[in-house]
Structures are given as structure tokens and as C-alpha cells.
Amino acid sequence: MKKLGLAIVSFAHIHAWNYAKVLKGMGSAELIAIYDDDEARLRKASELFNVKRAFDDYGSLLRDPDVDAVIITSENAKHKQYAVLAAEEGKHILCEKPIATNLSDADEIITKAERSGVKLQIAFVMRYHPATVEVKRLIGEGVVGGIRAIMATNHGKYPGGWFGDPSLAGGGAIMDHTVHVADLIRWYTSSEVREVYAIKGVNLRPELRVEDNALISLELANGVVGSIDCSWSRPDNWPTWGDVYLHIVGEEGYIIVDAFRSNITLVLEVALAAYKSIGLGRPVKLPL
């Protein structure tokens, strides 16, 4: 079976280097070409990953018949131009989040992909994390009953570089760190957000031209409420990058997800059992 030929479009995003490492070890796909509008990055990536087809002209890469799909890992504001051109050339697309920096660009990408008959995916990688997948299974089995609220955090360090340039990033921590947990909330509730209220605090890094902390409150169409702390609140010397953490409150229990530690805590009927224990004056076995 022919391997899927993939090209990485720009190494501006920090995740591009990890995509390349993974592709070099895959059996069903291979990294055959790269493009970058930055000469130094292009040279570094082609040497590091031993990619012979290194293009500084995007059109030339798209005309390569061995390229079946592209992974777009450029600055956020450039997603539209790269995605639209790829769709026009019949190349499937995996685009790093966010899809774009405004609704008009996002709609154009989606419309162009649909009309061209190519697959378009956004890199919501947390849907494939073992811990979050297990939580989806537990919710689907009704282990905690109907979901009433989800509190989530996606803390991290300030990535630096173009992430602090609003013209390239489209925003700061809100643009960068809202999408993963917002997508998980939608996935877990099978509902869409209908109302948003957000506040941002005084920047932890006053020199930035974008926000580095914020708190978002959500209400979903099915009545579930949620919150997202998307702040770049980790200092540069913090020993780990950050977190993806969710506290899911159900009618019959709750789940705490600490995805980067691959840890899930499932609590059922504890409060009711506590009341029963007080009334009986002895320990109470679960489940009730």
C-alpha cells in the first residue's frame, strides 16, 4: 500500500517540529516535503529531518504530485492563505489550531475545502488523548449521570515570538489556549455554546501587546455551564509546560481530569454516603 505523502507548511509553530518527528516514524505516512517562508527555519528543518524536497515557493510544493496532504503549522494569520491554496490544488489539510483569526477566514477555508472535496481537520489533539477518551466513555455510559457543569483550565507558558504579535497570532492566551478545552466541553456535552462572558486581568507580562490571562464563562444550549481559564500563567522557569485540567460535575458524581498526568479521579455518591454515614453512625459501603 502506498504511503500517504505529507508536507509540513511552515515551522513557525512550535508543534511543527513534533509533527515532523512523529511522521518520520510512521509506517502508513511519510514526510516528503516541507515549505517555509523563513530561510533559516527551512534549512534547519530540512537538515534535521533529512527532507530532500524543501520549498521556499508554496505553489511549487502544492504542484508536487507526491504530496497528498499538508499540515499547516504557520502563524495563525497565515492559515487561510495556505489552506485555501492547498484545497484548490486538491490536497487534504490538517491545520493547527485555531482554524483562523476571524470568522470570515474560517468560513472561507471550510467552504473551499467542501467545494474542492478535500478533507479538512483542525488539530484538536486532546480528543485522542487516552485520559480524555476514557472520560468520554465514562460519560457515555452514564457513570456520573447528566452533566451539569464543567470547569476547565489550559494553563501554560508564554510561547514567545510571533505569539505576542496580534497581527500574526490574532490575540494572546485566549486565542491560543481556549480551543482545546472548549472543544472537549462540546464533545463531552454533545452541545454547542450559546453564550460567552469573559474577563481579562492585568497582564502578568506588562510588555506584551496581547493578553496573557483571562477567564471565560460559558452556557451551552442544553443548559450546561462551564468555565475556562486559558492563561499563560506559568512563569518561564516553571518545571513543566502547563496543564489540561477539567472538573466535570454530574447529577450522580464528578470526574476530575488531569490529562498531562494521564490521571482521572472518579467520585460517585460521596456526599450522599456521608449523610448516610452520619445518620447510621458507621462507615457506608459504595455504591449505595
Grid coordinates of 164 = 505576542
- Angstrom CA distances, 210 to 111, 177, 214, 218, 243, stand at 30, 13, 11, 22, 21
| pLDDT above 90: residue 169 | yes
Asked if residue 52 has pLDDT above 80, the reply is yes
The angle subtended at Cα 121 by Cα 157 and Cα 161, nearest 5°, is: 30
Residue 168 and residue 83 in one domain: no
Domain around 250: 128-274
Confidence of residue 2 (pLDDT cuts 50, 70, 90): confident
Domain count, the chain: 2
Q: What is the mean pLDDT of residues 168-194?
A: 97
Torsion-angle region of 176 (φ positive above 0: left; ψ -120 to 50: alpha; else: beta): alpha
Rounded distance between C-alpha atoms, residue 35 and residue 91, angstroms:
14
Query: Are 41 and 135 members of one domain?
Result: no
Q: 91 and 141 share a domain?
A: no
Query: Domain check: are 151 and 166 in the same one?
Result: yes
Percent of all residues in the chain with a pLDDT value above 90, rounded to a whole number:
85
Q: Say if 280 falls within a structural domain.
A: no
Do 105 and 133 belong to one domain? no
Residue 217 lies in a domain: yes
Instruction: Report the DSSP pairing between strands 4-9 and 69-72.
Output: parallel
Please state, in angstroms and as integers, the Cα–Cα distance from residue 67 to each residue in 40, 74, 92, 242, following that order: 23, 18, 9, 35
Quote the mean pLDDT of the chain: 95
Examine residue 287 and state whether it is found in any structural domain, yes or no: no
Q: What is the CATH number of the domain that holds 224?
A: 3.30.360.10
pTM of the model: 0.91
Q: Which of 94, 138, 127 is nearest to 244 (CA)?
A: 127
